[in-house]
Chains A and B, each alone.
Chain A
Amino acid sequence: MAKLLIKNGRIIDPASQHDAVADILIKDSYIVRIGQNLHAIAATLFDATGLVVAPGFIDMHVHLREPGFEHAETIESGSRAAAAGGFTSICAMPNTQPVNDDATVTRYMLERARRFALTNVFPIGAITKNSAGEELAAIGSMKNAGAVAISDDGRPVMNSRVMRRAMEFARAFDLPVIDHCEDLNLSADGDMHEGFESVRLGLRGIPSSSEDVMVARDILLAEVTGARFHAAHVSTGRSLEMIAAAKARGLAVSCEVTPHHISLADSDILPYDSNYKMRPPLRSASDVAALVAGVAAGSVDAVATDHAPHPGSEKMQEFEKCPFGVIGLETALAVALERLVHSGKISLLRLVELFTLGPARILGLASRGRLCPGAASDVTIFDPELVWTYDVNRSLSKSRNSPFHGKTFRGGPVATVVNGAIVWRR
């Protein structure tokens, strides 16, 4: 029986709206007690004076690349980077090789996670077989094996009828349907946001409308089917507007934003540097402002990284040739603090909610994302004032594709507790 006593931290729990200094006692896999002047025999002590103690962070959008692309990332390396970013739970997207489209792959990922991961890993199953967009994947079996959602992330379901069937089926299993909303015909092999910068740089554009039309479609299908629809990495102001309106109408619609989409615009791109190439692309400055305003207005449910590792050999290429995606686990909290809290847009409590209770609710992780007796013993301890500089060459990820290399941040994680054990500390 392992006990951990975290003393004198500023405990922030969005579920109870609790924000005060207290101690927290953990025994094995659950929280025993929260209160003043707690004592425990034979407990490991952690002095959290001056630090925030939050429920364990959940990143609902991570690419762990295993099985199939272990040269870019593994469940082990990805979970290490996650722990170093303060995350205690990460959701693995299904675009592996083979695609996680049946329970065998789901169980394989969970078994690898059990043996090698520092954090909890929750697989997300594919919507369609091989994410080819045609035939539904083994959704029910994957759910029974441990999948927490379904998504064809990166290869969005273009056929609206298939998407409708997926939503209908998923609804019966109470699984959220996560869509990477993009009309691939409108994107037409684009490399960056369509706008002034793409025209200037002579790169093919991905118009905002490619995201907006699919968000609109999915909202309509969610309404028809009653399914829970979650929009991944929303990048345009117009999409967020439609999502907010759908929520106001009472639909089961949710969404996430990434740290890079709320902090960088297309005009911030170092020309032709592939560390700024991701899908959806970095949008216009007005989209960035609209996303931040949307977070402040409560339209956004979660911050998720879309951590997408690619080895240097693949990213060190012509901009139009290199793959999309950036890593983000280690910088997510720092970027979010800077853009949302230090800028005065939202409270620290609200920020913690975006990293914890928000994603836990969407994924149905009832015992996570909260700090109360009986809850899972996942805790993230961070210092909102810590000044540190991100050196991507020291990243625990196997990949180095970050636009934040060399950036000095204010605020970052200090220690990560998963299932009652400190798995990472600064």
Chain B
Amino acid sequence: MPAGLLGIEGLERSEIEAILNRAKDFQPFENHTFKRLDILRGKMIVNLFYESSTRTRTSFEIAAKRLGADAVSITAAGSSVSKGESLVDTLNTLAAMRPDAIVMRHGASGAPHFLARHLPTPIINAGDGTHEHPTQALLDARTILDQRPSLEGLRVAIIGDIAHSRVARSNIYLLSKFGVDIVLCGPASLLPAELAQIAPGVRLTYDIREAIRDADVIMMLRVQLERQHEAAFPSGEYFQFYGLRLEHLDLAKPDVIVMHPGPINRGREISSEVADSQRSVILNQVENGVAVRMAVLERILSPHGQTSH
């Protein structure tokens, strides 16, 4: 693996497989309290979150601590960031404290890529703007593989605001590398035609029923109102045309699973009945978040220490 983890697009399939396999070792057993490991003892990880994110930040913190590393979390509010310091200055300051890795969430696409060119410290992208969210795609793949023997040949529908979704991009890149049949669905204004060329095996539809037909996996995306600069669809019509409801599931494979990166907007992109149904694996995703991030941290910070577990 290169110095950090900036995205899925440039990652080798074998690298992804190694992380997913290793993450399995870190999944908790039934009724098993997790023992703190010492794989990353003495390592210092800084979580730098320019956007608030309870779920991802906590997940990275727990992953670091379970591996025996020290983790410090910094959020933009209340730090020098809110005092007008530039991104480069902030990162240089942090890098001077010699952390072993910086986990970074930022609202601007490419912010971690830009910094990676100027800093020696490995950077792990915890979501950059509307670009990529690599660990989300890895934990989603781990979650699918807990339900299916392999990714090959699966049909995955990704539904919602694809244009503004870093989760969608990372998932598209990952699933495509494994020969998944990917259907993207959303309002036309949030589904640019260029997405069809972004990776092999991708097609687009504006019809949610068409997207769900024979799907093995349905990934719902959050309607990201905060990322839309204007109304890209008639207000009030989203749930009617692109919300996932119980009756839709009959169109999919009988054992279809429903995923959502969270936090969910009940009644906006997904009905409560679906979110709470047997088909929903939303909480499994959260659980796998820790395991996958442990595998990522280990691979970046202790590439040769994997046998010590």
CA distance A425 to B125 in the complex (A): 48
Question: Nearest-CB distance from B123 to chain A (Å)?
Answer: 13
Question: Nearest-CB distance from A330 to chain B (Å)?
Answer: 24
A202-B109 in contact given A188-B229, A316-B86, A317-B86 (Cβ < 8 Å): yes
Cβ–Cβ contact A318 & B166, under 8 A:
no
Cβ–Cβ contact B194 & A199, under 8 A:
yes
Q: Which residues of A contact B198 (CB under 8 A)?
A: 196, 199-200
Q: Which residues of A contact B109 (CB under 8 A)?
A: 201-203, 272, 319-320
- Chain B's closest residue to A319 (CB) is B110
* Mask of B115-159 contacts with A, CB within 8 angstroms, 1/0: 001100000000011111000000000000000000000000000
Residues 205 to 240 of chain A near chain B (Cβ within 8 Å): 205
A320-B108 in contact given A202-B130, A202-B131, A271-B113 (Cβ < 8 Å): yes
Cβ–Cβ contact B87 & A317, under 8 A:
yes
Partner among A198, A199, A317, A320 whose Cβ is within 8 Å of the Cβ of B129: A320
Q: Is A407 an interface residue (CB 8 A)?
A: no
Cβ–Cβ contact A199 & B195, under 8 A:
yes
A318-B106 in contact given A199-B192, A200-B198, A271-B113 (Cβ < 8 Å): yes
Q: Is A321 an interface residue (CB 8 A)?
A: yes
Cβ–Cβ contact A319 & B108, under 8 A:
yes
- Chain A's closest residue to B128 (CB) is A202
CA distance A300 to B147 in the complex (A): 61
Q: Is A313 an interface residue (CB 8 A)?
A: yes
Q: Which residues of B contact A200 (CB under 8 A)?
A: 9, 169, 194, 198
Question: Nearest-CB distance from A267 to chain B (Å)?
Answer: 12
- Chain A's closest residue to B130 (CB) is A202
Question: Nearest-CB distance from A205 to chain B (Å)?
Answer: 8
Q: Which residues of B contact A271 (CB under 8 A)?
A: 110, 113
Q: Is A268 an interface residue (CB 8 A)?
A: no
Q: Is A195 an interface residue (CB 8 A)?
A: yes
Q: Is B88 an interface residue (CB 8 A)?
A: yes
Q: Which residues of A contact B117 (CB under 8 A)?
A: 273
A195-B194 in contact given A201-B131, A272-B113 (Cβ < 8 Å): yes
Q: Considering residues A198, A313, A318, which has the most beta carbons from chain B within 10 angstroms of its beta carbon?
A: A318
CA distance A41 to B238 in the complex (A): 85
- Chain B's closest residue to A314 (CB) is B86
Q: Which residues of A contact B229 (CB under 8 A)?
A: 188-189, 204
CA distance A11 to B114 in the complex (A): 47
* Mask of B78-115 contacts with A, CB within 8 angstroms, 1/0: 00000000111000000000000000001011110110
Question: Nearest-CB distance from A347 to chain B (Å)?
Answer: 38
Q: Which residues of B contact A316 (CB under 8 A)?
A: 86, 88, 118
Question: Nearest-CB distance from B37 to chain A (Å)?
Answer: 35
- Chain B's closest residue to A270 (CB) is B117
Residues 191 to 222 of chain B near chain A (Cβ within 8 Å): 192, 194-195, 197-198
Question: Nearest-CB distance from A397 to chain B (Å)?
Answer: 21
- Chain A's closest residue to B106 (CB) is A318
Question: Nearest-CB distance from B131 to chain A (Å)?
Answer: 3
- Chain B's closest residue to A197 (CB) is B194
CA distance A189 to B228 in the complex (A): 11
Residues 171 to 199 of chain A near chain B (Cβ within 8 Å): 188-189, 194-196, 198-199
CA distance A356 to B86 in the complex (A): 42
Q: Which residues of A contact B108 (CB under 8 A)?
A: 318-321
Cβ–Cβ contact B114 & A272, under 8 A:
yes
- Chain B's closest residue to A205 (CB) is B192
CA distance A319 to B106 in the complex (A): 12
Question: Nearest-CB distance from A181 to chain B (Å)?
Answer: 22
- Chain A's closest residue to B162 (CB) is A199
Q: Which residues of A contact B166 (CB under 8 A)?
A: 202
CA distance A123 to B88 in the complex (A): 36
Q: Is B163 an interface residue (CB 8 A)?
A: yes
Q: Considering residues A194, A196, A202, A203, which has the most beta carbons from chain B within 10 angstroms of its beta carbon?
A: A202
- Chain A's closest residue to B195 (CB) is A199
Q: Which residues of A contact B128 (CB under 8 A)?
A: 202
Residues 1 to 49 of chain B near chain A (Cβ within 8 Å): 9
Cβ–Cβ contact B114 & A199, under 8 A:
no
Q: Which residues of B contact A313 (CB under 8 A)?
A: 86
Q: Is B230 an interface residue (CB 8 A)?
A: yes
Question: Nearest-CB distance from A403 to chain B (Å)?
Answer: 15
Question: Nearest-CB distance from A245 to chain B (Å)?
Answer: 28
CA distance A153 to B107 in the complex (A): 30
Question: Nearest-CB distance from A406 to chain B (Å)?
Answer: 14
CA distance A188 to B113 in the complex (A): 24
Q: Which residues of B contact A189 (CB under 8 A)?
A: 229
Q: Which residues of B contact A194 (CB under 8 A)?
A: 192
CA distance A12 to B213 in the complex (A): 69
- Chain A's closest residue to B109 (CB) is A202
Q: Which residues of B contact A195 (CB under 8 A)?
A: 194
CA distance A195 to B195 in the complex (A): 10
- Chain B's closest residue to A185 (CB) is B230
Cβ–Cβ contact B230 & A188, under 8 A:
yes
Q: Which residues of A contact B88 (CB under 8 A)?
A: 316-317
Q: Considering residues A199, A205, A320, which has the most beta carbons from chain B within 10 angstroms of its beta carbon?
A: A199
CA distance A320 to B106 in the complex (A): 12
Cβ–Cβ contact B169 & A202, under 8 A:
yes
Question: Nearest-CB distance from B44 to chain A (Å)?
Answer: 25
- Chain A's closest residue to B110 (CB) is A272
A318-B114 in contact given A196-B194, A199-B163, A202-B132 (Cβ < 8 Å): yes
Question: Nearest-CB distance from B24 to chain A (Å)?
Answer: 30
| 10 A-B pairs closest in CB distance | A272-B110, A202-B131, A318-B108, A202-B109, A202-B130, A199-B194, A196-B194, A272-B114, A318-B111, A272-B113
> Which positions in A face B, CB cutoff 8 Å?
188-189, 194-196, 198-205, 271-273, 313, 316-321
Can you list 20 A-B contacts (CB < 8 A)? A195-B194, A198-B194, A199-B163, A200-B194, A201-B109, A202-B130, A202-B131, A202-B132, A202-B166, A202-B169, A203-B131, A272-B110, A316-B86, A316-B88, A316-B118, A317-B87, A318-B106, A318-B110, A318-B114, A319-B114
Beyond A195-B194, A202-B166, A204-B130, list 7 extra A-B contacts (CB 8 Å).
A202-B129, A202-B130, A203-B129, A271-B110, A313-B86, A318-B111, A320-B108
> Which positions in B face A, CB cutoff 8 Å?
9, 86-88, 106, 108-111, 113-114, 117-118, 128-132, 163, 166, 169, 192, 194-195, 197-198, 229-230
